Chains A and B, each alone.
Chain A
Amino acid sequence: MQSQGGIIVSQDWKLMNDLYDRYEANNYNFHLATLCLNDVSQLNSLDPNVKVIVVDLTCLTKEQQYFIEKRINFDKDRQYIILDQNLDMTKVRMYFRLGVKDVFCHPLQQSDIEELFQSMNLLLRHHANQKNKNKKVISYLKRSLAYDLLFGRVKSPKEIWDRSYTVGLTIVPNIAMVVHIDQFKKMIRHKNKKWAWSIRQEISDVIGEYIQNLTYDILVIPTDINKIAILLAAPLKNNPNEYVVYTKKLAEELKELVLSRTHFSVTIGIGNFYEDARNLESSYREAYQAQRNKFYIGDNTVTHIQDINQDSSNHKAIFYYDVSELSRHVLAGDFIRVNDILDSFRQILFEQKNVQPQMFYVQMMDILTTIARAAVKSGADPKNVHHVYRKAQYKFPLLENVFEVEHYFQRVTDELLSVVMHTHNEQSLRSVQKAMTYIEAHFNQHITLEEIAEHVNLSPNYFSNIFKKTTGKTFVEYLSQRRIEQSKELLLDLDYTVYQVAHAVGYNDARYFSRVFKSIVGKTPTKYRNSKLVRNMKRIQYTEHTVLSEA
């Protein structure tokens, strides 16, 4: 019987044929079958779609009648109509007490037959209505059972069984899975709640569709805005590994189906099998943990808790590094060194495995805090620093995998350092200008890098660095250049000896001056002077000759 219907059970062939003929002639809107009852135990194996049973008790033995009465008493899923002879008030009352819905007197009159079919029709319609009503209630009950199991709110095995049975499960759930919608928080940014729910619902519907093709029972409930829990009632396997293989295969299929139907990718975490449903809470916790493994392996993946090395004994909750070193180099604007340090951090941080994403977040923010503090201290605009820092604070929790985190960490440290660099560039220019003024005033004296660095309140190294970056020359080159330029002018004055010129531009040693001069100008000071004098002489001679000629 494909859809729900009724059956007439009797040992009287003639009665059954008569009734069936009438049924066919009247084209009733329900299915009808007949069963010639040889053995009452035949009733134990009736089609589950048979919802109304008309039992003819007239030819049955007392034992058989007793059996039927028992059956009517406990069979709450079906409605019974009795045909019996010699009915009296006592008998009729007894049938109704058992739960019989209607009673007819045998032999049936023509009008009785019509009434019998109407009664069957009414009962079947009532049953169908009730079934539709129950469907909704069942869905509420399923959800409530699933939540109670996941969060360990039910501790009685009988209660678990009763509730499972009521919602139509044949096996109590024993494995939990967590379906995480990838990049969900990014997808729903600036969208309303309905939008978010509709995505989750779309995925739930696909899971529901997938379940329908399975031969065993599953409960599906949302447990977070971007997470759906699946409670699986897996059939018995030979060993724990078979459950792992089986559930991973199922999750892979489900993941692919969701992607192909919705274009949303999901990551699925799977917990261990626990036959006692009171431990499903543990399976759910494991599934949740397994799903977070996507942080390392990326989106659109499946992880069983058994795939994760859960030994956390080697984990360092705190990332140890030399805060003062990082801070000092940021403060000094030594970006090459800062970048070297950050590269080494990245290597250590992103080689970590089995560290909770939250811990990664804490470690990243710790480093960023150090850089931010140093940046502010080095004179960077606090507003700019806070802006970058707050953006990172918001962004990190949204990142779903270690690749994204690494990429973003690089980006945010670059941003912070560029804020610092910008500040340093302005400051550098001012410092170099100040240094150049000082050099201008004192180049003819004995001055050192340390002395000028102190004058501009910078470290000698840093000063040396920024001086070269700004002027394109080292401090010594610049100073030498300036001194030599001045010396060139003085050399033209024949009142000064080379020795005096050297002293006049800040060199104590004339021979050293000569070496420096030669390295810059290409000639010794004397040759330079002579070459200038000869040229001048020629010019004078030429001028005199011209004047005389014109005259």
Chain B
Amino acid sequence: MSKTARYSPVGLEKSCTNWETEALLRLLLNSLDPRVAEKAEELIVYGGTGKAARDEVHLQQIILELQQLKAEETLLIQSGKPVGVFQTYPEAPRVVSSTAMLVPSEADSDTFRQLEEKGLTMYGQATAASWSYIGVQGVLQATFETMGEVADRYFGGSLAGRIVLSSGLGGMGSAQPLSVSMHHGVSIIVEIDEAKIHKRLMNNYCDVIVKDIDEAISLAKESAELKKPFAIALLGNAPDIYAGFLEREFIPDVVTDQTAAHDLLNGYIPSRLTLEQANYLRQHKKSTYIELAKKSILYHVDTMLKFQEQGAIVFDYGNNIRGQAAQLGVKEAFQFPGFVSEYIRPLYSEGRGPCRWIALSGDPNDIYKIDERLLDLYSDDERLQRWITYVQDQIYFYGLPARTCWLNYQERSELGILLNDMVASGELSAPIAITRDHSEGSTIAAPTRETEQMKDGSDAISDWPILTALLNVSAGATMVTLQHGGGVGIGNSIHTGMTAVADGTQVALDKLNRVLTVDPGMNIIRHADAGYEKAVDKLLQYHIRKPL
């Protein structure tokens, strides 16, 4: 926690001229809340170096602009820097933002780093630059759904008695132990940073810290035999620990990895290095460090391939570790699949996606009231019922209370009306911001993750996120962002974020109606276009017009 921590304001008193800009201000500050952000003092929200603003000066200027912004003005953000304010009209977005975009021929990590060092750009990860990061819960359901799919497909619907090995307990990775526990399984999550482990222990995401590989194996086996959910955080360096397991001929049922492998310099920690050594080399010998990281990635992926050979279910958890290995010449890197193409795409095809809403009041009651309404309204949606019930019992709200939930097209289109209605009637104590993760079929083009192995081979086509962004601007979203890099790194993805606000007014209702229809609608169109039958069915079911 920094000396002067930033927290989002709560309650009904606004420092901006209207609730749309107040909502954006609160979301921005919430994503930099030290309880939410990974390194709030450096403006890093999550995912290695994913930032909400370029630096402190730019952040303060953004805050000032938001406070002054009128209901018919639009603020332009260029990679975390406020670069202009134009008069537009009330239905237009209040903020449009583009982050880390490079022309394709220059879109590589080295060029990006040079430009970043010159202060010309910043890395925005996904929800960091779009100010919609809400902590672990934001990615938890994707992990939860993935583990659920693994359980259904290979283990008869439950992970009870199964051991899952993974690594990384940062903002993204810490969803893993909880997700495995939610499916009654045993997890061993390798993490090199003891401070991160302790944070997760205090969050109740992990159950125990273990510093010895044999003790971790013994504990995992004991819990699996008893079929008791148990989350073990194992202190160590992931590639070395994976190799250690292989040496001991210990083959977990499921193996994956969520180290920050997308960023070889600031994210990944090479084999045999301690955290302190890594930090020293990162500062003083960057090129040596990157070379070590490359070698380590080869070794790391090789261990994962060996686990696969020996019968483990192995998949890439979206950190582009296979892509990095493939670039370094490992032909077999893609022998294990990515989680999206393997487990999540069927959900995208039905327009289902990671929707999230944030109570600007700061009152958890608002979120619980919405939960209750959704549980009542969609009593036949088992996925929703299971998720909300479970997450209510597991997740404590840090920062502004928020809920993420994978809603389908129809549910999303109805959500805006429902929330606006609840705000208008006073049932909720203040307006609600509605946003989503960038990880959806149409909102991101990421050939090694979300759009890997598309049916029609359109993996690298990035028209879809751009169309989605343009459409959301047209529909009246409060904030629309276009970004580059995300969780898979520079050169590997283009994606878009969207935020809308339910403030109880008629104007908001109209905007919400439009935005929350077109945004998930694009998901269906994108998958129907790629030839997914389920998506084609949904076009017909929801009367979405797709000329060709």
Chain B 131-175 against A: per-residue CB contact (8 Å), 1 yes, 0 no? 000000000000000000000000000000000000000000000
B2-10, B95-103, B314-322, B482-490 - the one binding chain A: B2-10
Partner of B396, one of A43, A71, A157, A237: A157
List residues of chain A with CB within 8 A of the CB of B396. Answer: 157, 275-278
Q: How far is the CB of B134 from chain A (nearest CB, A)?
A: 15
Q: Which residue of B lies closest to A161 (CB)?
A: B364
A43, A236, A238, A240: the one contacting B426 at CB < 8 Å is A43
Which residue of A has the minimal Cβ distance to B34?
A: A239
Interface residues of A in 232-278 (CB under 8 A from B): 236-240, 274-278
- CB neighbours of B504 from chain A (8 A): 41
A-B contact pairs, 23 of them (CB 8 A): A41-B426, A43-B426, A70-B427, A74-B369, A156-B394, A157-B393, A157-B396, A158-B393, A161-B368, A165-B365, A236-B5, A237-B5, A238-B1, A238-B2, A238-B3, A239-B1, A239-B2, A239-B3, A240-B1, A276-B202, A276-B203, A276-B398, A279-B202
Give which listed residue, B35, B204, B369, B397, contacts A278 with CB less than 8 A.
Answer: B204
Asked whether A156 lies within 8 Å of B393 as measured between CB atoms, the reply is: yes
Cβ A159 vs Cβ B393 within 8 A: yes
Interface set of A (CB-CB < 8 Å, partner B)? 41, 43-44, 67, 70-71, 74-75, 155-159, 161-162, 165, 236-240, 274-279
Q: Are B3 and A161 in contact (CB under 8 A)?
A: no
Which residues of chain A are near B421, meaning CB under 8 Å? 70
B425 at interface, CB cutoff 8 A: yes
**CB interface residues, B 225-267, toward A, < 8 Å:** none
A535 and B7 alpha carbons, distance in the complex (Å): 116
Of residues 405 through 440 on chain B, the ones whose CB sits less than 8 Å from some CB of chain A are 421, 424-427
Min CB gap A151→B, angstroms: 16
Residues of A within 8 A of B397 (CB): 157
Give complex CA distance A275, B425 in Å: 31
Query: Given the complex of chains A and B, what is the CA–CA distance between A80 and B12 in angstroms?
Result: 25
CB of A276 to closest CB in B, whole Å: 4
**Docked CA distance A41–B421 (Å):** 12
Q: With A and B bound together, what is the CA distance between A486 and B390 in angstroms?
A: 108
Question: Given A161-B364, A276-B202, A276-B396, A236–B7 Cβ distance below 8 Å?
Answer: yes
- Contact A158 B392, CB 8 Å, known A276-B203, A276-B204, A279-B202: yes
Mask for B170-207, Cβ within 8 A of A = 1, else 0?
A: 00000000000000000000000000000000111000
Please classify the interface of chain A as helix (H, G, I), strand (E, B), loop, or mixed, using the class held by over half of its residues.
helix
Q: Nearest Cβ in chain A — how far from B35, in angstroms?
A: 6
Residues from chain A with a CB closer than 8 A to the CB of B204 are 155, 276, 278-279
Asked whether, in the complex, the Cβ of B392 is within 8 Å of the Cβ of A156, the reply is yes
CB-nearest residue of chain A to B397? A157
Interface: B395 (CB within 8 A): yes
- With A67-B425, A162-B368 as given contacts, are A157 and B4 in contact (CB-CB < 8 Å)? no
In the bound complex, do residue B4 and residue A238 qualify as a contact, i.e. CB atoms below 8 Å apart?
yes
User: Cα distance A158–B396 when bound, in Å?
Assistant: 8
| Given A159-B393, A278-B396, A70 contacting B425 (CB threshold 8 A) | yes
- Which A residues are in CB contact (< 8 Å) with B426? 41, 43-44, 71, 75
Query: How far is A277 from B202 in the complex, measured between Cα atoms in Å?
Result: 10
**For the complex of A and B, 9 pairs with smallest distance between CB atoms:** A44-B426, A158-B392, A70-B425, A156-B393, A157-B396, A276-B396, A238-B5, A74-B427, A239-B1
Q: In angstroms, how far is the closest chain B Cβ from the Cβ of A444? A: 82
Partner pick for A274 among B4, B202, B392, B394, CB 8 A cutoff = B202
| B398 touches which of A156, A161, A275 (Cβ 8 Å) | A275
Contact present for A161 and B425 (CB under 8 Å): no
The answer for the CA separation of A305 and B369 in the assembled complex, in Å, is 38
Which residues of chain B come closer than 8 Å to A239, judged between CB atoms? 1-5
B210 to chain A minimum Cβ distance, whole angstroms, is 19
Residues of B close to A43: CB separation below 8 A = 426
Which of A44, A67, A155, A274: most chain B Cβ within 10 A? A44
Q: A residues within 8 A CB of B4?
A: 238-239
Q: Which partner residue on chain A sits nearest B392 by CB separation?
A: A158
Instruction: Enumerate chain B residues within 8 angstroms of A157, measured Cβ to Cβ.
Output: 392-397
Q: Which B residues lie within 8 Å of A277 (CB)?
A: 396
Q: Which residues of A contact B2 (CB under 8 A)?
A: 238-239
In the complex, what distance in Å separates the CA atom of A236 from the CA atom of B35?
A: 11
16 more contacts with CB within 8 A, not counting A70-B427, A157-B395, are: A41-B426, A43-B426, A74-B369, A74-B425, A156-B394, A158-B368, A159-B393, A237-B5, A238-B4, A239-B1, A239-B3, A274-B202, A275-B35, A275-B398, A276-B204, A276-B396
